[in-house]
Amino acid sequence: MRNAKIILINIFIILLLNVGSLQAQNNTDTTSDEMSGAQLPEDHSELEKGKSKYLFSLEVPLWYDFKTADDGKRFKQGDVTYGVLASLQINDMGGIGFEYFEVPIANNNSVTNLEKDKIVFTMMDLIYLVKIPNPFNLAVGVGYGKSEVSGSNENRFKQGDCYQWFLRGGINLNAIIQIHLGYHDVTSKIPFKNNAEYGIEAGGTMFSGGISVAF
């Protein structure tokens, strides 16, 4: 089942990229600010038209749903998730991003809820902006980083690896500003220090939201 999922995702990505690639072949390559020969339609963003070189994006996490652990249960997000997801794309070359977000864990078993534990994710991303007609925008990406438990129980854990793929889609408000929502599929397990055969399921799906500015 997992392998089928991987294959489908890869096919989806390849299709998206080919669509974008076909669109690009209908236009001349624009590595400079000046247009020559055929011009991009007016309904493409300034970045696509070569008038802007950079796209800076800033998002915040909205909520996080944990995946089900091997014991059949799942953690529940406690308080508000917060953090920052930032990226910088350069023309058609793609972009890099940095993510830091914290997900508090609610303990449904506690008599008193005095202790606050959270899972902290730190990742570096690779992002590609898919060319689709205005006023919409779409980006895809993958990320890798570390996850760890923070709080009163942090000494019980080692660091874990985390991976993600994500989609980000939205609307171009004007030639410079975009708004978008993101969907992230995070994979991560954090092992116990004293019993590394066991750990916690830190993976999950996250929704984010933010804004991009072209310049």
Partner 1 sequence: MRHNFIYLLIVLLVFLFACRNTDIETVTTLAPPVSGQGNIVHSSAEGGEWPFVYSHNIGSTPKDVYFIFTNPTYTTFSSDINVQSNSYYPSNSNEISSDSLNVNDGNIETSDHPINAIPDYISEFNNHPPPLIYKDDDLGTMQLNLEEVLPPQLAVVGDPEVFNESIDNDTVNSKCRATRDLSSDISLNIWVADADFTGGSCGADCMTTSMAEAFLDKFLWDGTSDIYGWVTNMIGGPWGSHSYNNLIPATSKNTIDILFYDIPAIAGGTIIGYFHAKDNYLVGSEPTSNQRLIFYMDSVLAATASGGDGWHISDDYPALVLSTLSHEFQHMIHFYQKPVLRASGASSQDWLNEMSSLMSEDLMSSKLEVNGPRGVTHSDFSAGSSGNGDGRLPGYIYYNDESAVIWDAFYSYSVNYALGAYLLRNFGGANFLKHLVQSPFTNTGAIDYALSQMGYDFNFSDILQRWGVSVLLSDQLDTSQYYRYNTGVSFDTNMGTTTYQIGSINMYNYTIFGQTGPKTVSISDLPDLNYHKAASNVLVKAGTQLTGTKEWTIKMGRDIKLSVVLK
| Phi-psi region at 98: left, alpha or beta (left = phi > 0; alpha = psi -120 to 50) | beta
CA distances from 9 to 42, 97, 123, 156, 188 (A): 31, 21, 20, 35, 18
By CB under 8 A, tell whether 110 contacts partner 1: yes
| Contact map string, positions 84 to 103, toward partner 1, x by CB under 8 A | --------xxx---------
Euclidean distance between CA atoms 34 and 49, whole angstroms = 9
Q: Binding to partner 1 by residue 126, rule CB under 8 A? A: yes
> Closer to partner 1 at the Cβ: 160 or 182?
160
Smallest gap from residue 124 Cβ to partner 1 (A): 11
Give the integer Cα–Cα distance in Å for 179 and 60. 12
What does the alpha-carbon distance between residue 54 and residue 65 come to, in Å, rounded to a whole number? 32
Q: Is 142 in the site for partner 1 (CB under 8 A)?
A: yes
Of 34 and 71, CB closest to partner 1? 71
Binding partner 1 (rule: CB under 8 A), the pick from 8, 58, 196, 213 is 196
Measure the CA–CA gap between 55 and 168, rounded to whole angstroms.
14
The interface mask with partner 1, positions 11-30, x = CB under 8 A, is: --xx--x---x--x------
Q: Which of residues 28-57 bind partner 1 (CB under 8 A)?
A: none
Angle (CA) 196 198 203, round 5°: 110
CA neighbor of 87 nearest in space, from 78, 99, 76, 79: 99
First CA to last CA across the chain, in angstroms?
43
Using CB under 8 A, pick the residue from 47, 85, 149, 167 that binds partner 1. Answer: 149
Cβ proximity to partner 1, 36 vs 195, nearer residue: 195
Write out the residues near partner 1 by the rule CB under 8 A.
2, 6, 9-10, 13-14, 17, 21, 24, 69-71, 73-75, 92-94, 105, 107, 109-115, 117, 126, 128, 140-142, 144, 149, 152-153, 156-157, 160-161, 163-165, 187, 189, 191-201
